[in-house]
Amino acid sequence: AQSVTQLGSHVSVSEGALVLLRCNYSSSVPPYLFWYVQYPNQGLQLLLKYTSAATLVKGINGFEAEFKKSETSFHLTKPSAHMSDAAEYFCAVSDNTDKLIFGTGTRLQVFP
């Protein structure tokens, strides 16, 4: 069965600092991996996805994630945090079916 684990339910960074949100996956087949963001009172929005084309995936708003098969990881990074990045971030995996399997989410706080 597929699953994802997000380490850290809350992450706090200063504005301008590196953002690192961790995600590890478990999958018996080559996975599709996703990062979604949820701003207050809004739906989940796709940040980026990995579909086996390239291990470093660039997404919207300056975020990127690197697929590391040896570590079964798909961590999300951004070199410099902005106040507007404060939100909940969800990692998800799919096994080529319709359903997405999500992690528990990480709430990112950005301090001035």
Partner 1 sequence: EPEVTQTPSHQVTQMGQEVILRCVPISNHLYFYWYRQILGQKVEFLVSFYNNEISEKSEIFDDQFSVERPDGSNFTLKIRSTKLEDSAMYFCASSEGAGPVYEQYFGPGTRLTVT
| Residues found near partner 1 in the complex (CB under 8 A) | 32, 34, 36, 41-46, 49, 51, 90, 92, 94, 96-105
Shortest spacing between CB 69 and partner 1, in angstroms:
17
Shortest spacing between CB 109 and partner 1, in angstroms:
17
Which residue, 78 or 89, is less far from partner 1 as judged by CB? 89
**Cα–Cα distance for residue pair 62/77, rounded to 1 Å:** 9
Shortest spacing between CB 6 and partner 1, in angstroms:
9
Q: Going along the chain, which residue ranges are E strands?
A: 3-7, 10-14, 19-26, 32-38, 44-50, 56-58, 64-68, 73-78, 87-94, 101-102, 106-111
Which residue, 17 or 49, is less far from partner 1 as judged by CB? 49
**Cα–Cα distance for residue pair 15/19, rounded to 1 Å:** 10
Which residue, 80 or 104, is less far from partner 1 as judged by CB? 104
